[in-house]
Amino acid sequence: MNSVPHWVVIYYAAPLSENVIYECSRRRALLCGPMAESAEHTLMETASEEEALFSNLDIFLFSLIIGFLIYWLVFRKKKEDIPEFKKLDTPETSFIEKMKKTGRNVVVFYGSQTGTGEEFANRLSKDAQRYGMRGMAADPEEYDMSELSRLPEIENSMAVFCMATYGEGDPTDNAQDFYDWLQEGDTHLDGVNYTVFALGNKTYEHYNAMGKYVDKRLEELGAKRIFDLGLGDDDGNLEEDFISWREQFWPAVCEHFGVEATTEESSIRQYELVLHTDVNMNKVYTGELARLKSFETQKPPFDAKNPFLASVNVNRKLNKGGDRHLMHLELDITGSKIRYESGDHVAVYPVNETAMVNQIGQILGVDLDTVFSLNNLDEESNKKHPFPCPTTYRTALTHYLDINNPPRTNVLYELAQYASDPKDQENMRKMASSSTDGKALYQSWVLEARRNILAILQDMPSLRPPIDHLCELLPRLQARYYSIASSSKVHANGIHICAVVVEYQTLTGRVNKGVATNWLKNKLPSDNGHKFTVPMYVRKSQFRLPFKASNPVIMIGPGTGIAPFMGFIQERAWLKAQGKEVGETVLYYGCRHRNEDFLYQDELEEFERTGVITQLNVAFSRDQKQKIYVQHLLKKNKEHLWKLIHTDNAHIYICGDARNMARDVQNTFYEITEEMGGMTRTQAVDYIKKLMTKGRYSQDVWS
């Protein structure tokens, strides 16, 4: 709102009475002394004679002021209009009021990092309709979770929590505030009915930690668990775990509330299709994640919904031989105001392969350049569209939808109605069922064969769904996270990535390619100076160097697990150059062959030569008959390692494969602790667990 400038004074234009003149003069005398007193006498003597004159003067002054105001309003310099994303009306933060307003009695909250938790929450909220209930999926980040205590105000109500665990037992980004609120512990949830389904991966140390905590904490606060905690394991078959839990969950709900299934499961559309035949293409999304034209006019701060377009300055192959492609990329973040620390992750938003998108369009016989919107049929929902709309089918399949991973069973069930061959319809519904045969068929035909939606359409010629329903059902294409392979102390305007290109042949003979790594592989700086860009942002991590540089560090990172340690080593070198006391820097690295895939060999050997790396241990697993891995080298150096850990307060870091390497390394540390510390196995395990609690044993692993 514009305010009147400080130099504008407003006068009251009425004829001045003697009393007013006297009072003004008296105050001026007090303020200004003899000069004002002289003026007072003159004024008093002529006041009655000049009364008409003062009226005219007042009118003149008033007119002058009005003129100034008009000039200021008309000719003042207007604030420059800054283009910004049109802000929608503030969403309702009270989920209780929204439930009352829309007649809902089931709320399904989700903590989701990759979209699976959100997908499961949507499926459960749709299920509620079969039981005469009405559900809504909700992001805890968008609501005031302290209102959970008000849920009993709604008759026959319950809260379901689909909670994923991220990193080292942490909540997902959107569930962080909810987690903090639960920890405060001053809420009473008596009368609140709840259940929890947890999403995790058994290869991680803190398997399903977030889901387990929410389940336990809600009970401690007085809420009533109406069905057992479900544990989903992404290392096994997360979809099967969810279906098995869900099939038992709803009968328990029926029993608790005394309700029955009203209808058979049917296809219920959540969005309606709107085609745009006459649309301004400047209003059509072309891959942006939130703000229209955000890739054309970039504005900080940059985050998951507003990524920065970083130029690819360097893209080189790291390995000298072998059948794999390992690469080193350098992203330019100059001018972005992005800050990062060694150990952080960079998230990149890839796009799907053009050939795949075109094939889907051809099979379904659609014009991929058709502009459309999918609008939520629930007008009260905070989520108006499944992805930014309006857009084209081409953009949706390229930028917004996951067309590479095998679809989940709910997608098959919904698509079955569009198969003209009864046998195809039967098989699709069977794979979506909880029967033993159905699960086995889904496991073999979809998961083990790694059939994505394109392969399914190719192998089922009778299946030809409307493209808009397919777009509604497919999950969102997610960002890919990479451990940053540089230090901001050395590369303030650059972020380095170390990755291996994923490409493999499936049981059907098709070649499947990793979406992000193949997309990054082709972003080569050209000789004419043209540079490709990558939408990215930085996600903070707990994987940090010790606060005291004098503490020794033990780093274990085979393969591309070397990435964060390149940043650590660069930072230790920088600290040393600043004259700081730097403790021992020990690296255990592993690869297949010295002459093929010894990543960053020249850099690492130079760091060792200059004393930055005090001990470089490399395991070449296939250069001899008997395979040698990093854990074998750890065992070989047990005396030195035990001294660093037990006496010198060393910090241990592990990066790489969670399923085998991280577990084997951890078992090796148990053995070293047991042997060198004279402990039992139980004591050794407790010793390592305490190091984890103190932040001296950190893992950055994936499966």
**Residues annotated catalytic, as ranges:** 483, 655, 700, 702
Whole-Å CA distances, 156 to 93, 151, 536: 22, 10, 44
The stretches of 449-556 forming alpha helices (DSSP H) are: 453-459, 467-473, 515-521
Q: d(Cα 464, Cα 454) in Å, to the nearest integer?
A: 11
Q: Which of 153, 158, 177 has the alpha carbon at shortest distance from 97? A: 153
Q: d(Cα 654, Cα 649) in Å, to the nearest integer?
A: 17
Whether 404 contacts 351, CB under 8 Å: no
Beta bridge partners of 615: 586
Whole-Å CA distances, 515 to 405, 463, 561: 10, 25, 20
On the question of a cis peptide bond just before residue 301, with omega within 30 degrees of 0, the verdict is yes
Secondary structure tally for the chain: helices H, strands E: 23, 23
Q: Which of 191, 218, 471 has the alpha carbon at shortest distance from 352? A: 471
State whether residue 650 is helix, strand or coil: coil
DSSP secondary structure letters along 110-151: EE-SSSHHHHHHHHHHHHGGGGT--EEEE-GGGS-GGGGGGG
Residue with tokens 């209808």: 263
Whether 415 contacts 427, CB under 8 Å: no
Whether 219 contacts 225, CB under 8 Å: yes
Burial pattern 499-528, b for ≥16 Cβ within 10 A else e, equals bbbeeeeeeeebebbbbbbebbbebebeee
Long-range contacts of 303-309 (CB under 8 A, 24+ apart): 303/537, 304/173, 304/347, 304/479, 304/537, 306/537, 307/347, 307/349, 307/535, 307/536, 307/537, 308/333, 308/336, 308/338, 308/535, 308/536, 308/537, 309/533, 309/534, 309/535
The stretches of 365-514 forming alpha helices (DSSP H) are: 393-395, 409-415, 422-431, 436-441, 453-459, 467-473
